[in-house]
Structure 1
Amino acid sequence: MSLEMAKKIAAYKAVDDHITDNLVVGIGSGSTIVYGVQRLAERVISENLNLICIPTSFQAKQLILDNGLILGELDRNPTIDVAIDGADECDVELNCIKGGGGCLLQEKIVASCAKTLIIVADHTKNSEYLTEKYKKIPIEVTPIAYIPIKNRIESLFGGDLKLRMGGSAKAGPIVTDNGNFILDWFFDGSPTTDFDGINREIMMIPGVVDTGLFIGMAKKAYFGMPDGSVIEKEI
């Protein structure tokens, strides 16, 4: 089974297990969530479900609208029943690294408002510990402070922080939906086993908006496997 099919079966099962009528649903960002929104749209039509969908990014907003779902906002729906999102890596305790797509701030805000955060991914994102496979941690920062933040984190923890650039499609750095920059923190091995502590320390640096470390937020994860099965992990 391809990775795309693995993403699809994980997303479909999560939607089928956790979505019922009259819910406010957080819609994550990334390639796996495309399949989750497709399944939501199918069920809204076939079961006449009444759902309000809260986006985590411009991409998520467009997915909601393109699939004919009801678009909500946090100021009107500050409490979310369930949020479904992807991850770049998820460990045995369901701690995650997110932000590979640059939407980590809004993803974390929506996740923090949700009663239940569900992670959906293919099997390559399933790890024993954070940074086992995904060797960088994204950090969203205010543009004016990216050099001091880079120097501070490298001094405290080592590694190498690089400003995420737009590549051939865009001159200059990537700018998030919130007008910020992304620093990707690369390192050999793991900088620490205490990711909760490292997250708190980085968040205290002036100019850091948020990190891609989602610690203690997810309640369940679904991983699509090569054989067509879905592994479920739950806290």
Structure 2
Amino acid sequence: MHYRVQKCLTLLTRSYSKSQSLIKMSLNEAKKIAAFKAVDQWVKPNTAIGVGSGSTVVFAVERLSQRVKNEGLHVVCIPTSFQARQLIVENGLELGDLDRNPHLDCAIDGADEVDANMVLIKGGGGCMLQEKIVASCAENLIIIADYTKNSKKLGEQYKKGIPIEVTPMAYVPIKKRIENTFGGSLNLRMAVSKAGPCITDNSNFVLDWQFDEKKDYDWDSVNKELLQIPGVVETGLFVNMAKKVYFGMKDGSVKEQK
């Protein structure tokens, strides 16, 4: 009897592990189909493009590299982070910068969440300042994501809050001011495998704002007010910036939102 119970438990464990693996593969496949479709539709020959940060962008760079090799496509890639720069270099793509390419045809980037009004939360990887600079130089900001990033309202699926990049000396007064003005709470993002806070590519701190999900915020107004606070470098709120979003869905289709 004991043997049969043990055998059943072993089979259940294997089945659970397999299902978790399939879920992970499903998310990666969703990211991939969204990324491939966006690159195929928006990247044109002889242009400069912004290359974003995050796990979904890995697939965009993969597709871009394929097109360069297969079609002889010539594009200059402007990175939004150290990670993006490494992806560009490792895939043999042409690396550029905003000094020589101040105007971009498009920027392809990921997002942590997208609401029904095309407001984005970005910065889960701590790269929102450079991401927003590159996006602002692009004729079209194209967002690629899997279905878990698709929400009607911000905070519906992404629970880590809105990232705010701040100068280190001011993080405490900024934290208190935002909490007093808008509610919610802010936490200093701590580093992984390193003692102390997370440091951005620009040598700043990140505060993650857990806003009050019960409130209806005017995100455009909130973003402008946040940027007026001395010491706030940039926010992870991208308002009125995205041209189109591609969501890779569970069923293998790609949902387009604009």
Same fold (TM over 0.5): yes
Kindly indicate whether residue 145 of structure 2 is the aligned counterpart of residue 121 of structure 1.
Answer: yes
Q: Which runs of 5+ in 1 are unaligned?
A: none
Give, in angstroms, the shift of residue 95 of structure 1: 1.2
CA contact (8 A) 1:95 1:214 kept: yes
Q: Counterpart of 1:5?
A: 29
Kindly indicate whether residue 81 of structure 2 is the aligned counterpart of residue 79 of structure 1.
Answer: no
Taking the aligned partners of 1:180 and 1:218, their CA distance within structure 2 comes to 25
Taking the aligned partners of 1:173 and 1:161, their CA distance within structure 2 comes to 14
More relative contact order, 1 or 2 (CA 8 Å, 6+ apart): 1
- Tell me which structure has the larger Cα radius of gyration: 2
Equivalent of residue 166 in structure 1, options 182, 191, 194 = 191
Give, in angstroms, the shift of residue 133 of structure 1: 1.7
Kindly indicate whether residue 119 of structure 2 is the aligned counterpart of residue 111 of structure 1.
Answer: no
Kindly indicate whether residue 48 of structure 2 is the aligned counterpart of residue 24 of structure 1.
Answer: yes
The Cα RMSD (Å) is 1.0
Percent identity reads: 64
- Cα deviation, 1:88-143, whole Å, max 9, x if unaligned, reads 00112211000000000000000000000000000010111222222311000000
Taking the aligned partners of 2:118 and 2:111, their CA distance within structure 1 comes to 10
CA contact (8 A) 1:131 1:190 kept: no
- The list of structure 1 runs, each at least 4 consecutive aligned residues, that deviate by more than 3 angstroms after superposition, is none
Kindly indicate whether residue 54 of structure 2 is the aligned counterpart of residue 35 of structure 1.
Answer: no
Give, in angstroms, the shift of residue 19 of structure 1: 1.0
Taking the aligned partners of 2:211 and 2:87, their CA distance within structure 1 comes to 34
The equivalences for 1:204-219 within 5 A come to: 204-219=228-243
State the AA in 2 paired with 1:67: N
The equivalences for 1:165-204 within 5 A come to: 165-167=190-192, 169-204=193-228
Say which structure is richer in helix: 2
- Cα deviation, 1:156-215, whole Å, max 9, x if unaligned, reads 011110000013x11100000000000001134154420000001111000000000000
**TM-score with structure 1 setting the length:** 0.97
